[in-house]
Structure formats: structure tokens, C-alpha cells
Structure 1
Amino acid sequence: MEDETQNQNVPRVKLGSQGLEVSKLGFGCMGLSGIYSSQISPLPDDVGISIIKAAFLKGITFFDTADVYGSHTNEILIGKALKQLPREKIQLATKFGIVTLGPSGLVVNGRPEYVRACCKASLERLGVEYIDLYYQHRVDTTVPIEETMGELKKLVEEGKIKYIGLSEASPDTIRRAHAVHPITAVQMEWSLWTRDIEEEIIPLCRELGIGIVSYSPLGRGFFGGRGVVKNTPPNMILAKHPRFNEENLHKNKTLYQRLENLAVKHQCAPAQLALAWVHHQGYDVVPIPGTTKMKNLDSNIGSLKVKLTEEDLKEISHAVPIGEVAGDRNYDFVGPADWKHANTPPRDSSAPA
């Protein structure tokens, strides 16, 4: 295939200190499988594949999925797309660890035999010989992280995975895991209205040379206008998110309006300004917004052209004070009380993504 990414506008950056290089903007594939709605069907395969291919041709080479997305169908979709792209130019991330996800609660498994079985199954669904970045999706606190990491280390040594990541892990878990085998990236929810990782986790990652992957960098679509300029359908999973319930959303609209006013000043869309804010948090930060629409893909890529000064960043942060955000960041049906494992630290028991 002719390499059409040479004229792209997405720079490449090093993610972590272990050698992984990715596009500065990644692509979260979860929404391509209809995850955000219990009634709306996922995109037809040809449409999902066309979006993935378009993202690649525009310069995005870092794609994020998980075995639990669409009950394995998301990985199968990504695998179909990869057959039409040069594998050596793609950085593929997937995850294991969530056994079940939904209104009945969240069940996680970090046992070594489960790690190996999940990796084998993901490789088969994706149709690849190796996974670039393999995350533990959520931490199983009934299994010492050293045991889980020990099996992941074996998978690296066998060439089945290249780099190891953690998602929504606590500082203690990150440090203990990193002592077994270097962690390349930690994936966390990070956006203008979710910034709790800034106090401990970001400094720890930088101390250890771990890259930071920001999921839901647009506040689950809020800073793209979801719930503000366009309604949230009642059948969407977001209807169960505290920040999108009627009372909290009414309060949060003020935050969007402030960002909208600043976006006019910066001559960009509110979503682009919110995403640019994440980009400017550091060279080691890679956001992975997802979309099912080409226009949003172009908008996300356009955020890379928005340049912000330190004063701009402060002004944007002050426009969305974390203390004014109404509602918890966790879904109502996936809070700590719904977990099947007891004694789970708050950071290790966050909402799914």
C-alpha cells in the first residue's frame, strides 16, 4: 500500500520510555461497536472500517480497543480493518481483565491463566501475531498485581505483546507493577472535567517514565455538545451517567458555555479547545477520542493546530473549575458498590471505558 500518511498533520511522539512511538492523537474504537447505546445497533462493518482507514490516512496510527467492547466484536472489526492497512505502521492497543460489564455490575479477573487465555483470544480475533500495547483493563484486587504482571512479562518475552499498560490503576498498583516489568503507559480518564489524576498519578508516571493515555478527553462527548446542543437519547448508556442526568446537566451547561466563549476567542470549536487543552498537558500525553463521524474525526485532528500559552491553559482550566462540575465521574451502575471484589481502592474501581 502506498504510504499516504507522509503529508498528514498528526505528529508522532514517544509513549513512555520503553521505545513505543505513536501518533500524538489516538483513536478510541469502542463507539464503533455501539457501546454507548443499548438499543442502537453498531455501525455496519464497512462503515467502521472506512472510519479506521480514514483515520490512518490522515495520520492516526494508534488504535485502542478491548476484548470486552461489543462482546469481542470490536476486536474482530479492528482485525478486518487491519487487513487493509500496513500492520507495521499501526500501534495496536487492546485490553483484558473485565469479564462482565453492565447493569448487573463489573467483574474483573487478573489471574495469570486468564491473562494468557485472553491474550491468545485477542490475537486470534485481531488476526495479528503480536499486540503492541496490552493493558490490564481494570485491576483485580483479589490477585496480587505481581502475579498478573509476571504473566504479562512472559507474554512480552514470547513476543505475543510488545509493551504493557495499566488502566485506571492506583498509584500503589502502578509502582508495584512497574517493579516487576516496566509499564509503558497508563490509561486514565482525563479531561477538563475529570482531573483527579493530576495530584498523584501524573507525577508518579513522570517519575517512572510512563506515558499517559487520556480516554474520554472530551468528557464523554460533553465538550462536543452532547447534552447541550444535542440531546442525549434515553437509550444511550450516558443517560445513566450522573453528569448527564437532568439536574446535573443543567448545572454543567454553564461550564460548556464558558468554554464556548473561549473557543470563539481561539477561533476553533469547543471540542477542539477541550482536546487541545489535553494535548498541552505534556509531551507524554496522548488522548484517544473516538467517533463514528468523519466530520468529528477531522475536528479532532484539527485540535492539534490549536496553540495555547500557559496563560491560555490557566484561563481554560479556570473556566471549568473541577469543584463546579456536578455529578460523579462514575456511572450509577458501575460504582464501587457494584464490584464483585471487596476492598477495592477508589482509583482501581473506576468507571468502564
Structure 2
Amino acid sequence: MTQISRRQFIQAGLIGAAAASTGFAGMSYINPTDSMIDRVKLGKTGLIVPHLALGTGTHGGKQSSDMTRMGIQNWLKIARYAQERGMTFYDAADLYGSHQNVKEILKEVPREKATLLSKIWTRPEDWNKDAPKATIDRFRKETGSEYFDILLLHCMTNEKWKEEKKPYIEALSEAKQKGIVKAVGLSCHSFEALKVAADDPWVDVILARINPEGVIMDASPDEVMAVLKKAHDRGKGIIGMKIFGEGKLSEESQREKSLRYVIGSKNVDCMTIGITSVDQVEDVVKRISRIVKEV
């Protein structure tokens, strides 16, 4: 009987998983390669992270996402495969309900070799009634991790976030002082919020929407990239999201162009992409590994 590796077994078992929503529609099967994701400095945070984070928020909301709806065991197959490619960077959030996913993979990946990012939803919800400090403690229990590498305010939509989210900022600052959080910041969903973040000394990390077509972004690519350059030059860690425009940039040429644009800018340290199958892991790791060497 011909023997196959665990990697080949996982690949065969998950080919054909739903892909359109993450920007991989119509992608053909790619044979496994030896490509590994590289590691990069995240601004001046002192963190060294994989170039690509395993996103867990596709079609996320109300503590659910495509990654949680597929079931823990199915997601773990993808996360284990990603681990073999060097992707031990997990992008979670309370809004996605994905802390349980992270908890399970961290049982297999040594904590010191993982990068854990989560995001605090600051708007009143039935599942989010705790005070900021209590919310952080709940996150620690839900993920099974005593600390977070990165903890962000989730989805800031105006220039007044510093004033409006002051209790959360104070709680995050205290957690950082205690070593519960290594780096703090926000995910931006408006150009005004992004511009404030670029100038604010409290912000260590910015999660920003960026792609060359301006799809689901806060301003034009040139405008956003100029602010990201300013923030990056000031030492802030920049994580790109919506690289494939939430699936709207699904053609191979579009994926290639977007990755080349983001990586080639030198203003985005790393990125997060929602992934729902191992062939998506294979494709994007292979592309990033090649483009990093070319730009």
C-alpha cells in the first residue's frame, strides 16, 4: 500500500472547500511545495511575526464566521496545515467567536512560537456587556492564553475614537504594563480613524484595509498608502487586511497584483487573509514566498 504524509492526507480531504468569499474562486489544485512563510518585524513593537496571519473572520458577526461555522475539527485541519507552512499567527476577535478555534490550535502549537491577535468589540451587544478589564480577562480564559501579542480596538469608524473609547484604552494600557498584552492599537474602518491612529503615540499597531483597486477601503489606495507610510515611518506596526477585497479580487491576476502591491510598498509589515481550505494556504504562501524574493 502506498503511504502518504499527513499533509497529503489533509490536502486530499479538503480540496474543493468553499473558496469564493476569501478571494480564491476557481483556483485549481496546487501540489504541495516546500514554501514557508517568512517572518518579519512588526514596526518597532519588538515583535517578529509570520508575514501572513490566519484570518478567522470571513463573513463574521454576532460571534460567528465562516471559520467557526465549519466546525472546530475542520478548521483545525486547515490550521495544522498552515502551521507546517510557518503560519502560526492567529487573527481572532470576539465579534467572530473564534477564540475557541485559537484555544484548540494553541494546544498543539507552543505558545512562545505563536502570535496571537484579538480584537475587542466596543459597541453594546448581548455578548459584550463586561467592563473593559473584565473583557480582557474573559479573552484570556476563552483562548487559554495568559497573554496576547496584539490586542486591538475593533472597527474604529471615526476620528473621535480616542475620546469615545477611553475606558478601553486605559484598560489596554494597564494590561500592557502588566505584560498581559505586548502591543495595542486598532483596526480602522474609516479614513479619519486611520489618520488619527497614524499620529497617536498610544498606537503600536494598525490593522488597515489596503489593496490596489480600492475595494472595501476607507479612501483611494494612494491616500491610504500615504497614511500607512507615515505611520510606518513613525515605527507603528502595519497589518494589511482586505488584501483580496473580501473575495471581490478573486482572479489569479488580481490576487497576484494585490499581493505584489502590498508587499512591494514596504509600508505594510504583514497581512491577514481569511482562509477556508488548505489549497488556499498553499496558494497564498507560495505566492508570498515568491513575491518577497522578487520585490
Could you tell me whether the CA contact under 8 Å between 1:166 and 1:185 is conserved in 2?
yes
Cα separation, 1, equivalents of 2:132 and 2:226: 28
TM-superposed deviation, 1:171: 1.7
Q: Provide closer, same or farther for how the CA distance between residues 303 and 38 of structure 1 changes in structure 2, counting only shifts above 3 A.
A: closer
SS in 2 for 1:170: helix
Residue 108 of structure 2 aligns with an amino acid whose one-letter code is Q
SS in 2 for 1:298: helix
Aligned: 1:190 with 2:210:
yes
Give unpaired runs (5+ residues) of structure 1: 102-106, 226-259, 264-269, 311-353
For residue 29 of structure 2, what is the aligned residue in structure 1? none
Residue in structure 2 matching 1:201, options 212, 216, 227: 227
Equivalent residue runs for 1:22-37 within 5 Å: 22-31=49-58
Cα separation, 1, equivalents of 2:103 and 2:194: 31
User: Which structure has the bigger radius of gyration?
Assistant: 1
Cα separation, 2, equivalents of 1:200 and 1:100: 33
Cα separation, 1, equivalents of 2:78 and 2:261: 25
Which of the pair has the greater relative contact order for Cα pairs under 8 Å at 6+ separation?
Answer: 2
TM-superposed deviation, 1:224: 1.9
TM-superposed deviation, 1:192: 1.8
Could you tell me whether the CA contact under 8 Å between 2:59 and 2:65 is conserved in 1?
no
SS in 2 for 1:119: helix
Q: Percent identity?
A: 22
For residue 36 of structure 2, what is the aligned residue in structure 1? 9
Q: Provide closer, same or farther for how the CA distance between residues 21 and 309 of structure 1 changes in structure 2, counting only shifts above 3 A.
A: closer
Aligned: 1:80 with 2:104:
yes
For residue 61 of structure 1, what is the aligned residue in structure 2? 88
Could you tell me whether the CA contact under 8 Å between 1:190 and 1:197 is conserved in 2?
no
TM-superposed deviation, 1:221: 1.2
1:294-320 superposed Cα distances (whole Å, 9 cap, x missing partner) = 11111110112136878xxxxxxxxxx
Equivalent residue runs for 1:268-307 within 5 Å: 270-282=254-266, 284-304=268-288, 305-306=290-291
For residue 319 of structure 1, what is the aligned residue in structure 2? none
Q: Provide closer, same or farther for how the CA distance between residues 175 and 148 of structure 1 changes in structure 2, counting only shifts above 3 A.
A: farther
For residue 257 of structure 1, what is the aligned residue in structure 2? none
Cα separation, 1, equivalents of 2:118 and 2:176: 14
SS in 1 for 2:196: helix
Could you tell me whether the CA contact under 8 Å between 1:32 and 1:291 is conserved in 2?
no
**TM-score (norm. length: structure 2):** 0.73
Could you tell me whether the CA contact under 8 Å between 2:229 and 2:267 is conserved in 1?
no
Aligned: 1:18 with 2:45:
yes
TM-superposed deviation, 1:197: 4.8
For residue 148 of structure 2, what is the aligned residue in structure 1? 131
Cα separation, 2, equivalents of 1:142 and 1:130: 24
Give unpaired runs (5+ residues) of structure 2: 1-6, 8-33, 215-220
For residue 133 of structure 2, what is the aligned residue in structure 1? 116
SS in 2 for 1:220: helix
Could you tell me whether the CA contact under 8 Å between 2:54 and 2:91 is conserved in 1?
yes
Aligned: 1:213 with 2:233:
no
SS in 2 for 1:223: coil
1:117-148 superposed Cα distances (whole Å, 9 cap, x missing partner) = 22111111101110110011133847625554
Could you tell me whether the CA contact under 8 Å between 1:8 and 1:57 is conserved in 2?
no
Aligned: 1:155 with 2:182:
no
Give the number of aligned pairs. Answer: 248
Q: Provide closer, same or farther for how the CA distance between residues 33 and 97 of structure 1 changes in structure 2, counting only shifts above 3 A.
A: closer
Cα separation, 2, equivalents of 1:40 and 1:174: 31
Residue 207 of structure 1 aligns with an amino acid whose one-letter code is D
Could you tell me whether the CA contact under 8 Å between 1:33 and 1:42 is conserved in 2?
no
Cα separation, 2, equivalents of 1:272 and 1:65: 25
TM-superposed deviation, 1:281: 1.6
Could you tell me whether the CA contact under 8 Å between 2:232 and 2:267 is conserved in 1?
no
Could you tell me whether the CA contact under 8 Å between 1:171 and 1:204 is conserved in 2?
no
Cα separation, 2, equivalents of 1:289 and 1:173: 22
Residue 306 of structure 1 aligns with an amino acid whose one-letter code is I
Moved more, 201-210 or 31-40: 31-40
